[in-house]
Amino acid sequence: MVCLSAKFKIMLSQNQYLQVALGTSRRRSFTYLPPVTIPQYQALIPGIRLQVPLGNRQVVGILLKVSNHCDIVATKLKAATALIDLQPVLPEGLFQLGLWACRYYQYPVGDGLLHMLPTKLRQAQRNQPVSSHWQRLDDSIALTAAAILQRSPKQAAIWHQLKELPVIFNQQQLKRVGLTPGALKGLLQKGLLKTLLQPTTAPEPKLAQDALVLNPEQTRALQCISPMSQHFRCTLLQGVTGSGKTEIYLQAITQCLSQGRRALILVPEIGLTPQTLQQLQARFDNTIICLHSGLTDKQRLDGWQQANLGFADIVVGTRSAIFTPIPQLGLIVVDEEHDLAYKQQDGLRYHARDLAVKRAYDEAIPIILGSATPALESLANVERGRFQHAVLPKRAGPAQQQRYQIIDVCNEVLSGGLSTELLLHIEQHLRANQQVLLFLNRRGFAPSLQCHNCGLTITCPQCDASLTLHQEPARLHCHHCDHKQAVICQCPYCHNQNLQAIGVGTERCEAQLNKQFPTVPVLRIDSDSTRGKHKLPQLLAEILTGQPCILLGTQMLTKGHHFPSVTLVGLLDLDASLFSTDFRGPERLAQQVVQAAGRAGRANQPGLALLQTRQGEHPYIQILTQRGYAEFACYELQRRRQAQLPPYTHMAIFRAEAKLAQSAEQCLTHLQKALDDLPEAGEQLRAIGPIPASMLRRNGRYRYQLLLQHPQRQALQTICSKLCLLAEQKQLHKVRWSLDIDPQEIM
Ligand code: ADP
Ligand code: ZN
């Protein structure tokens, strides 16, 4: 009998084939036998990581499935080397979301799933959270503590210190009494403390500050969101800047916590996380964890693990935080939902907002998408009845909506990008002790350097783009490939020594402002001036003192910040973005204008937004300034519908790049020709291309794209997956290709 059952066991194990997803560019899984070292009874659960041989390397993979049969002869299969996890590294729901995302974005599943994990877990590191929460044992034991600690005065002192803390305390609290986790070792050994591996109670709101009394519009919006409900409901919260969306988030989170559930807040930029964190910390004493790309790998892993264990009641983060495992998630907030930063532009090209909606749907919970300038996609989803619409038409509290005024600069010679009229306005506002914000979306001193004699523009050796002249520090810099070189004083073509800086960047404008207003601080805020961890917070703190000053910055300045003393906003250069080749150009322009203008007059002073342009009569500018974003959106949606563009059709782009222009183009021509043989590619399919990218050569590579549009998503998905297969099968020599589903940018 014993013999038989042993034989039976071996047969079972022989019949186990592991389908493993590896981080390679192949769109398929790989089959392995179970590791020889594991015990027979070891359960192999999909979602665990394993180490497997691939060629002569050892790589990390994720187990997708265990099956009983396999088409490959067993002797040709290799065994996995070892199990890294005993339990799935992602909870089931997130694992499924990841699989769904890889299918939807047609991305290799192994690479996609590994991308969802913190960097350290993409390697073979064990998923072993460091302890961060401890519990002091109850008083009956504590009474004997003195006896136990009699002979170790050092530990007795620590025990004494710990008594200042709550019975359950975390690492931050420990730090506050001046102790490190290492100091607890002795007490843990003696059984006076224990490590907690999960929270002992469900979340509940711990308010540090009273909630504001909502105005009627806010009340209606909160009812619409219904954060107490435990079913899927997506609300687009469209509120002009300063209308009190944040207060609604805070109250929705409170209601979510009161249900014993946790909340996830997404913000587009790392620059916005400290501000959001501050607002949350001011309101809640609950544990809040912040996840963004500015953290070290270790900090990120730590935050992720704590969230996974349920120690964070609130998680705040940027794009990839959508993949944070959070038990009993009850609410998702996507702030500034229109922001382009939510779209991942390489690898798994997901849109975090769209995945957030999918996650909320899967977990059957409410989700809020907030913005003053919603994406047209989201407005179309309201139109289709998929999203609820809650509108906050005016500013909360005493602040009024700012006014617009157009400054026509046709025929005017500007100094440092500034018109006489704009300078007059700036002076007025400064004299009234107010702050001025100027928006110029171009960093550096000047966007190009040109020879005065032959007209040659100095271009990047790697890209079809001019080099930007910078003064701090002096250099020529390519903003596309990061190529840097010393400033040249002689034309490389005609050797003339008269080279001129053409156009205006933030550095040049700053110099002019310093000349015009020598006694007023000019704070330049762009990615150059805010390099280093403390720079941006320092600058923001200076602004918040309310002293008169001029803030000059790129779009990073206009996003979501609340500057109560700014009363004048100037937009210096709209015209460049009016003639974009991307069909989303007007939408982005409108969002930028409204977001920038919305920084004016957020407290009790009225605000003014000045638009400096040579295209004052342009219908977009007229509609936007006279009738507002909602009307603009209607107009633009109409135009998209007529032109059969997204959101009224679905789009995908195949991109290819190579050192030889011909190779990149041929790769796409091959795909485009294959369309003729695909039954799904009927008359409704619109294929455009291969067309060269508007900047053909970038970083030494030539880039082409093939645009596909189809009114039915499923048909487009099928076409794309067939083309992916083709592209994979054909040995494309030295061509990098990618597929972008729902692309947000056309190159
Ligand atoms: P948004 O997020 O829509 O840009 P905020 O939430 O930052 O707007 O609100 C702008 C200002 O209005 C803040 O100073 C906020 O404290 C205030 N505010 C919001 N809601 C109310 C309210 N119900 N009553 C009074 N003031 C409010
Ligand atoms: Zn370059």
**Does residue 747 belong to any structural domain of this protein?**
no
Q: For position 142, what pLDDT does the model report?
A: 58
How many angstroms is it from 689 CA to the middle of ligand 2? 25
- Could you say which ligand is closest to the alpha carbon of residue 221? 1
pLDDT in tens, 674-687: 999 998 888 899 99
Which of 12-16, 307-311, 612-616 shows the lowest mean pLDDT across its residues? Answer: 12-16
Q: Which atom of ligand 1 is nearest to the CA of 372?
A: 3
| Domain stop point among 165, 195, 225 | 195
Q: Whose CA is nearest to atom 15 of ligand 1?
A: 244
How many angstroms is it from 542 CA to the middle of ligand 2? 35
635 lies in the same domain as 654: no
Out of 193-197, 237-241, 267-271, the most confident range is 237-241
**Does residue 729 belong to any structural domain of this protein?**
yes
Strand 168-170: give its sheet, edge to edge: 168-170, 133-136, 193-195
Q: Which of 590, 581, 570 is nearest to 691 (CA)?
A: 581
- Could you say which ligand is closest to the alpha carbon of residue 485? 2
606 lies in the same domain as 636: yes
How many angstroms is it from 246 CA to the middle of ligand 1? 7
Sign of CA dihedral 215, 217, 221, 223: positive
Going by DSSP bridges, is the β-strand pair 550-553/435-439 parallel, antiparallel, or unpaired? parallel
64 lies in the same domain as 181: no
Q: Whose CA is nearest to atom 19 of ligand 1?
A: 244
| Domain stop point among 617, 640, 663 | 640
622 lies in the same domain as 733: no
pLDDT score of 552 more than 60: yes
pLDDT score of 134 more than 90: no
How many angstroms is it from 653 CA to the middle of ligand 2? 23
How many angstroms is it from 466 CA to the middle of ligand 2? 8
Which of 113-127, 270-284, 709-723 shows the lowest mean pLDDT across its residues? Answer: 270-284
Residue % of the chain over a pLDDT of 70 = 96
Which of 147-151, 242-246, 614-618 shows the lowest mean pLDDT across its residues? Answer: 147-151
How far, in Å, CA of 548 to CA of 107, rounded?
51
**Does residue 666 belong to any structural domain of this protein?**
yes
Q: How confident is the model at residue 530 (pLDDT cuts 50, 70, 90)?
A: confident
Q: Whose CA is nearest to atom 23 of ligand 1?
A: 214
Q: Whose CA is nearest to atom 9 of ligand 1?
A: 244
Name the residue of 237, 247, 267, 604 to mutate for ligand 1: max ligand atoms within 8 A of Cβ. Answer: 247
411 lies in the same domain as 349: no
- Could you say which ligand is closest to the alpha carbon of residue 559? 1
Sign of CA dihedral 698, 700, 706, 709: negative
User: Looking at this protein, which amino acid is placed at residue 186?
Assistant: G
How many angstroms is it from 33 CA to the middle of ligand 2? 47
User: Looking at this protein, which amino acid is placed at residue 13?
Assistant: S
Computed on alpha carbons and rounded to an integer, the radius of gyration of the chain in Å comes to: 29
Q: How confident is the model at residue 5 (pLDDT cuts 50, 70, 90)?
A: very low
SS3 722: helix
Q: How confident is the model at residue 3 (pLDDT cuts 50, 70, 90)?
A: very low
Determine contact, residues 676/415, Cβ cutoff 8 Å: no
CATH code for position 14: 3.40.1440.60
pLDDT score of 535 more than 60: yes
Determine contact, residues 413/544, Cβ cutoff 8 Å: no
CATH code for position 660: 3.30.70.600
Q: For position 9, what pLDDT does the model report?
A: 40
Name the residue of 240, 246, 265 to mutate for ligand 1: max ligand atoms within 8 A of Cβ. Answer: 246
- Could you say which ligand is closest to the alpha carbon of residue 699? 2
150 lies in the same domain as 89: no
**Does residue 534 belong to any structural domain of this protein?**
yes
How many angstroms is it from 426 CA to the middle of ligand 2? 36
pLDDT in tens, 57-102: 999 999 999 988 888 877 788 999 999 998 899 999 999 999 999 9
Determine contact, residues 740/708, Cβ cutoff 8 Å: no
Cα separation values, 504 from 26, 470, 520, 588, Å: 46, 11, 21, 21
Residue 467 is given by DSSP the state P
Cα separation values, 580 from 37, 374, 375, 610, 697, Å: 60, 20, 18, 22, 18
Determine contact, residues 51/15, Cβ cutoff 8 Å: no
How many angstroms is it from 347 CA to the middle of ligand 1? 38
Mean pLDDT in residue range 309-330: 95
Residue 241 is given by DSSP the state T
Mean pLDDT in residue range 219-233: 93
Question: Where does ligand 1 bind, in terms of residues with CB under 6 Å?
Answer: 212-215, 218, 239, 241-247, 396-397, 562
Determine contact, residues 563/597, Cβ cutoff 8 Å: no
Q: How confident is the model at residue 183 (pLDDT cuts 50, 70, 90)?
A: confident
Mean pLDDT in residue range 566-577: 88
How many angstroms is it from 396 CA to the middle of ligand 1? 5
Say which residues have a Cβ less than 8 Å from residue 636's Cβ, sequence separation at least 6. 376, 586, 587, 590
CATH code for position 565: 3.40.50.300
Q: Any bridge partners for residue 439, and if so which? A: 553, 571
How far, in Å, CA of 105 to CA of 103, rounded?
6
How many angstroms is it from 242 CA to the middle of ligand 1? 6
pLDDT in tens, 478-515: 999 999 999 999 999 999 999 999 999 999 999 999 99
141 lies in the same domain as 256: no
Say which residues have a Cβ less than 8 Å from residue 119's Cβ, sequence separation at least 6. 297, 300, 301
Q: For position 7, what pLDDT does the model report?
A: 39
Q: What is the pTM of this model?
A: 0.91
549 lies in the same domain as 582: yes
pLDDT in tens, 379-400: 999 999 999 999 999 888 777 7
328 lies in the same domain as 224: yes
| Domain stop point among 600, 620, 640 | 640
Q: For position 154, what pLDDT does the model report?
A: 87
Place of tokens 């004052």: 616
Q: How confident is the model at residue 2 (pLDDT cuts 50, 70, 90)?
A: very low
Q: Which atom of ligand 1 is nearest to the CA of 244?
A: 6
Residue 105 is given by DSSP the state T
**Does residue 480 belong to any structural domain of this protein?**
no
**Does residue 483 belong to any structural domain of this protein?**
no
Q: Whose CA is nearest to atom 5 of ligand 1?
A: 244
Say which residues have a Cβ less than 8 Å from residue 410's Cβ, sequence separation at least 6. 614
**Does residue 645 belong to any structural domain of this protein?**
no
List the beta strands (DSSP E) in 147-205: 168-170, 193-195
Q: Which helix (H) or strand (E) holds 718?
A: helix 713-729
658 lies in the same domain as 617: no
- Could you say which ligand is closest to the alpha carbon of residue 242? 1
- Could you say which ligand is closest to the alpha carbon of residue 563? 1
Q: Which atom of ligand 1 is nearest to the CA of 243?
A: 3
Q: Which residue segment(s) compose the domain that 372 sits in?
A: 216-392
Q: Looking at the 3D structure of the chain, how many domains does it have?
A: 5
Q: For position 558, what pLDDT does the model report?
A: 74
Q: Whose CA is nearest to atom 1 of ligand 1?
A: 242
Q: What is the mean pLDDT of the chain?
A: 90
User: Looking at this protein, which amino acid is placed at residue 457?
Assistant: T
Q: Which atom of ligand 1 is nearest to the CA of 564?
A: 14
**Does residue 15 belong to any structural domain of this protein?**
yes
pLDDT in tens, 645-657: 999 999 999 999 9
pLDDT score of 276 more than 90: no
Q: Which atom of ligand 1 is nearest to the CA of 241?
A: 4
Mean pLDDT in residue range 567-595: 89
111 lies in the same domain as 160: no
How many angstroms is it from 462 CA to the middle of ligand 2? 5
Q: How confident is the model at residue 642 (pLDDT cuts 50, 70, 90)?
A: very high
258 lies in the same domain as 369: yes
How far, in Å, CA of 448 to CA of 442, rounded?
11
